[in-house]
Amino acid sequence: MEAAPENATQLLEALRQGDEMAFTTLVDKYQASMVRVAMLYVSSHFVAEEVVQETWIGVLKGLAKFEGRSSLKTWIYSILINRAKTHAQREGRYVQLSLDEDSEAGEPTVSPDRFNPADNPLYAHHWVARPDDWREIPEEVLVSHETLERIQQAIDALPPNQRMVITLRDIEQLSSEEVCNILEISETNQRVLLHRARAKVRAALEQYLRQ
The pTM assigned to this predicted structure is 0.71
DSSP string, 13-55: HHHHTT-HHHHHHHHHHHHHHHHHHHTTTSS-HHHHHHHHHHH
Q: Report pLDDT for 142.
A: 55
Q: Which domains does the chain have, with CATH numbers?
A: 8-91 (1.10.1740.10), 112-210 (1.10.10.10)
| CB within 8 Å of 24: residues ≥ 6 apart | 4
Q: Are 190 and 183 in contact (CB under 8 A)?
A: yes
Q: Report pLDDT for 127.
A: 43
Question: pLDDT by residue for the chain (211 residues), tens digit each?
Answer: 444 455 677 888 888 888 899 899 899 999 999 999 999 888 899 999 999 999 999 999 999 888 888 888 889 999 999 999 898 888 776 555 555 445 555 555 555 554 455 555 555 544 445 555 555 565 555 556 677 788 888 999 999 889 999 999 998 889 999 999 888 889 999 999 999 999 899 888 888 777 6
